[in-house]
Amino acid sequence: MEGTRMKKPIFMIIVAVIVLGGGFLLFRMVGTNSSSTSKNDAQSTASTTQQASATITFSNSGFTPSKTTVKSGDTVAIKNTSSSDVQMESDPHPAHTDDTDLNVGLVNPGQTKTFTVTKTGTFGFHNHLNPSDTGRITIQ
């Protein structure tokens, strides 16, 4: 009976150490993910601080305006006002090689990203996630 009483406190201490250790590791992992998310958010914010010469809005209806004209060296904004992600990419789908400046990538709902155009000509772009959503940009 004396041995059973001794084993119970030791068992409780071991359980407490395991629980506290697991909680500490979980807290560290969540803290690490939060700081990397904040870092990514800061990078996304940095890309939206440039003054845009033109804004292309993606809504649930597609890209507006569907055709736009800017000058080489201009900064263009892609603003997602839709309820889903948009992945703006250059034509042709899925190679995205006509004008790689247009390969903006994923833009989450409510997010705006900017990019600078350098190549001249008229180029098509589309939503890689739904290639029937298209637009054209003329860069002079």
Q: Are residues 63 and 129 in the same domain?
A: yes
Q: Are residues 65 and 91 in the same domain?
A: yes
Average pLDDT of the residues in 53-76: 96
Lowest mean pLDDT among 16-25, 64-73, 103-112: 16-25
pTM over 0.85: no
**What does DSSP assign to residue 82?**
S
Q: Are residues 95 and 122 in the same domain?
A: yes
Q: Is the pLDDT of residue 120 over 80?
A: yes
Output the pLDDT for position 11.
Answer: 75
Q: Are residues 37 and 93 in the same domain?
A: no
Task: Give the domain range for residue 9.
Answer: 1-49
Q: Are residues 68 and 19 in the same domain?
A: no
Output the pLDDT for position 15.
Answer: 72
Q: Are residues 58 and 44 in the same domain?
A: no
Output the pLDDT for position 97.
Answer: 94
**What does DSSP assign to residue 74?**
-
Q: Are residues 64 and 112 in the same domain?
A: yes
Q: In the chain, which ranges are continuous DSSP H helix?
A: 2-48
Q: Are residues 67 and 98 in the same domain?
A: yes
Q: Is the dihedral of CA 43, 48, 52, 58 positive or negative?
A: positive
First CA to last CA distance, the chain: 91
Lowest mean pLDDT among 44-48, 76-80, 86-90, 105-109: 44-48
What percentage of the chain carries pLDDT values higher than 90?
Answer: 63
CA 34 – CA 15 distance, rounded (Å): 28
| Overall domain count for the chain | 2
Output the pLDDT for position 65.
Answer: 97
Q: Is the pLDDT of residue 35 over 80?
A: no
Q: Are residues 131 and 80 in the same domain?
A: yes
Q: Are residues 33 and 19 in the same domain?
A: yes
Q: State the CATH number of the domain containing residue 98.
A: 2.60.40.420
